[in-house]
Amino acid sequence: MTARPHISGSESRLSGRGTSLNQEVAGMLIRRVRLLLRAVAVVVAGGSAVWMLVAVGVRVDIVMKAAGIPSNATGLGGFVNGAHALVTPALVMVAAIAPLALIVGAVVLLFGGRRGMQIVGTSIGVLLLLGSVTALID
């Protein structure tokens, strides 16, 4: 007769846990691979859509016409004209909404909300950012 070594309760639990731990690791690996495959599928779909639009020859004539960019503008001049034409309406919209955001931020602060200063700061920051971009373009 051969003598079997005695296995304590803690050692037997560890040996049983090894298989469930391996299954957990395998499950996590499968989830990560699935997420990676989804991301790759989105990138491939987006890239193929852009490629199809470029291949068909979709142009930005509508945006150029709406922004008032002359068709003969090339190089940096076209970029500056386009940026100026698009930033000015954005500045007007932000200037119209900034007072409302300031009031909302103040009300949130009044009622003890923590995000009130973020709302106020964001509204002022976006207004200053667009104003400085407009000044740089001009």
What are the tens digits of pLDDT across the range 57-69?
666 666 667 666 6
Give dist(CA 84, CA 78) in Å, integer.
10
Average pLDDT over residues 34-53: 90
How many residues are listed for the chain in this entry?
A: 138
C-alpha pair distances (Å), 77 with each of 58, 62, 64, 65:
22, 18, 13, 15
Specify whether the CB–CB gap between 94 and 129 falls below 8 A. no
Which residue ranges make up each domain of the chain? 7-58, 61-138
Alpha-helical runs (H) found in 60-74: 61-67
Q: Assess whether pLDDT exceeds 60 at residue 9.
A: no
- Per-residue pLDDT averaged across 124-131, rounded? 88
Averaged pLDDT, 28-38: 91
Q: Contact, 130 vs 91, CB < 8 A?
A: yes
Q: Name the DSSP class of 7.
A: -
Taking each helix axis from N to C terminus, what angle separates 75-110 and 116-137, rounded to the nearest 10 degrees? 160
> What single DSSP character describes residue 5?
P
Lowest mean pLDDT among 32-46, 79-93, 107-121: 79-93
pTM of the model: 0.45
